[in-house]
Amino acid sequence: MRILYCGDIVGRSGREAVLTYLPKLKAELSLDFIIANGENSAHGFGITKTICQELFTAGVDVITSGNHIWDQREIMSYINQEKRLLRPINYPATAPGKGFVIATSKSGKQVLVINAMARLFMDPLDDPFSAVDNVLKQYPLKTAVTATVLDFHGEASSEKMTMGHFCDGRASLVVGSHSHVPTGDAQILPGGTAYQTDAGMCGDYNSVIGMEKSAPLHRFTKKTPGERLTPATGPGTFCGTFVEVSEAGLAIQVSAVIRGPRLRNVLPE
Ligand SMILES: [Fe+2]
Ligand SMILES: [Fe+2]
């Protein structure tokens, strides 16, 4: 089965990049299942019910998130009604929503999607490794589900790579999010799990991680409060990760997917 993961969608430019490139990618890559990280889709901060519905209509099957999940307050109640929207699994159990879901693909296959958050240079949540381990043991590949994708939302490449190896042989794809920069290390690990440290963002790359440059320039150079962060509004570039999964639930091929005006475009062979 063929799965596409779309990196953090940042603001309108990111949403437009997804809406522009996803229909072509769906056809060209014969996609059976689509995941998108929506944590920055509402003007850079969080996601709304309307944006979730827009993404589902565009063909997204499951929406993942990260540290920005609670930025729009309406999501606190919506996430309890919409099981296709995930928050990181290692938030306290009292947080609304869930950190994993088993969803049905376009061809009727069961896909387990897990969302977890790293801890280095991030909010110190519960241990993501034991949280992911529990779900992987509960729903093993081949017997319980056809494919498993983990979106590991974090800053440090070391922690993300460790998670990749921790899940090797037990997940179809471990893909990183949050840095908003695509890494060039997409590979199949020795046990058969596809891995990429970060898929990058869907957004305007003439920016600082999707945000208008002026505010970060002020913050970093003057170290005094400046203007608010707002998303850059130029043409968006689509960044994601494509994986083809075998009957055993392991990766046959993996590739970064980059489409758009600023970065060198990359498509699976
Ligand atoms: Fe993000
Ligand atoms: Fe994030």
CB count within 10 Å of CB 254 equals 23
Q: What is the pLDDT of residue 269?
A: 86
DSSP code of residue 91: S
Gap from CA of 107 to ligand 2 centroid (Å): 31
pTM summary value: 0.98
Please say whether the beta carbons of 239 and 18 come within 8 A: no
Rounded to 5 degrees, φ, ψ at 45 are: -130, 100
* Angle at alpha carbon of residue 255, lines to 145 and 15, rounded to 5°: 85
Element (H, E) at 85: none
Gap from CA of 85 to ligand 2 centroid (Å): 15
Where do the domains of the chain lie, and which CATH numbers do they carry? 2-259 (3.60.21.10)
Residue type, 269: E
Gap from CA of 80 to ligand 1 centroid (Å): 22
CB count within 10 Å of CB 77 equals 12
Gap from CA of 38 to ligand 1 centroid (Å): 8
Ligand nearest to the CA of 67: 2
Mean pLDDT, consecutive 10-residue stretches, the chain (269 aa), reads 98 98 97 98 98 98 98 98 98 98 98 98 97 98 98 98 99 98 98 99 98 97 94 98 98 98 95
Q: Residue 33 and residue 40: Cα distance in Å, rounded?
A: 21
Q: Residue 101 and residue 64: Cα distance in Å, rounded?
A: 10
Q: Residue 20 and residue 260: Cα distance in Å, rounded?
A: 10
Which residues have C-beta under 5 Å from ligand 2, the single-atom ion? 66-67, 178
Ligand nearest to the CA of 38: 1
Q: What is the pLDDT of residue 82?
A: 98
Ligand nearest to the CA of 199: 1
Please say whether the beta carbons of 38 and 14 come within 8 A: no
> Which residue in 43, 68, 165, 178 is the catalytic one?
68
Q: Has 165 been annotated as catalytic? A: no
Gap from CA of 142 to ligand 2 centroid (Å): 31
SS3 20: helix
Q: What is the pLDDT of residue 157?
A: 98
